[in-house]
Every structure is written in C-alpha cells, then in structure tokens.
Structure 1
Amino acid sequence: MKKLFVFGCVAVLGAAALASCKKDYTCTDSDGTTITYSKLSKTEATAAESGCALIGGTWKKK
C-alpha cells in the first residue's frame, strides 16, 4: 500500500510539472507593434517564433 501511495504522488507531481510548461512570449515588429502570446507550449512557441521572424520581428520570452 505504501508503494502505491508513493507511485500515486509521483504521478500527480509529474502531471503538475508537465502542465506548467506553458510560457508567455512577445513579438515586436519593425514598427514597434507588440503582439503577446500567452501560455504557449514549446511546439506552439516555435511555430509562432517562425512567423515572427518572417515579418522581421523580435521574439522574446516574458
């Protein structure tokens, strides 16, 4: 029973850690316009960063 409890705690903490991996980013274009992207996963952030680069913008993590 003790092993099952420990395993359950580890599973819950692991799920919580993965859920909090989303971050906020900004893209500022050459005109000074800033677009804020909230709670993006790593895959989403990579795609948005590519789009920001296409318009000549600066990509930053908040």
Structure 2
Amino acid sequence: MDGGGSIYHNAPEVDTTLKAYYETLQLSFNEGKMPELIDTQNVALRYTIKDFEFI
C-alpha cells in the first residue's frame, strides 16, 4: 500500500494469464503433484522467502 492508500498486489511473472497460472497450480495439486500447497503457512513462507530474495 502506498501513502495515498492505493493497494498493489504482487503477481508472479508468468508466460500466460494469471488465471491460467493459478488453474494449472490447482490442477497440479488436485493430481497430487504439489502436496506442499495444502499447508498455507508453508506456502506463505516460501513466497516471502522468494519475494524478498532470501534464497
């Protein structure tokens, strides 16, 4: 959020639409290919580490 109250959402850089990106993630999870997505705290932690370039 900036000083004027505008909220900015960080979106992943992908080669497709965000809708298609998230649909693909959901399908991968549904097929058991990404079971780590069930733990929301783990997902948030991994995102934060990647976003702030701690790795």
TM over 0.5: no
Higher Rg of the two aligned structures = 1
Instruction: Tell which has more relative contact order, 1 or 2 (C-alpha 8 A, sep 6+).
Output: 1
Task: Provide the TM-score with structure 2 as the length reference.
Answer: 0.28
TM-score (norm 1): 0.27
